[in-house]
Amino acid sequence: MTFEQAKIVLAALMREEVEYVLIGSMGMAAQGLVRGTRDMDLFVSPSPENVERLRASLKSVFGGDASVDEITAADLAGDYPAIQYAPPGAEYSLDIISRLGDAFRYEDLQWEEVIVDGVRIRVATPAMLYRMKKDTVRPQDRIDAEWIRRAFGLED
């Protein structure tokens, strides 16, 4: 997924007033640290009203794709609060999350709003991105964490 593709989705989320926070490599890109990726990770509030706005925004971008209706507030508030949405014909996916185990919940994320090419983006702060990546088992996350730490002068 390119950041240009991501900005189209992010603009739709803002138009519909979706409560979300961009994380992962696209969150890094919004903070100025660009690297290639095949997905976009979004933490979202699992409230029914917010999930309805999320579905409306995705349908506006992806031609009314009916599979968007499979994204439910019940699933995002349930035991496995992560849904992967693959837009029709796209070579990328969106990971929609409301909680990562006991470590991170939407409500607890530190975020800020940045404007990139006229698109307002709710993105995790550099310190939050660092905390989310530094202790995972994925080697790429540990590389990302070190990159974030150095770029923003964060202390461990």
Condensed to tens digits (0 to 9), the pLDDT of residues 121-133 reads 999 999 999 999 9
Give the CATH fold of the 3-148 domain.
Answer: Beta Polymerase; domain 2 (3.30.460)
Q: What is the mean pLDDT of residues 146-151?
A: 96
Q: How confident is the model at residue 36 (pLDDT cuts 50, 70, 90)?
A: confident
DSSP 38: S
Q: Where are the domains of the chain?
A: 3-148
Neighbours of 35 (CB within 10 A): 12
CB environment 121-139: b (16+ within 10 A), e (fewer)? bbbbbbebbbbbbbeeeee
- Residue-wise pLDDT tens digits, 44-100: 999 999 999 999 999 999 999 999 999 999 999 998 899 999 999 989 999 999 999
Q: How confident is the model at residue 148 (pLDDT cuts 50, 70, 90)?
A: very high
Q: And the tokens for 47?
A: 């409230």
Whether 133 and 148 have beta carbons less than 8 Å apart is answered as yes
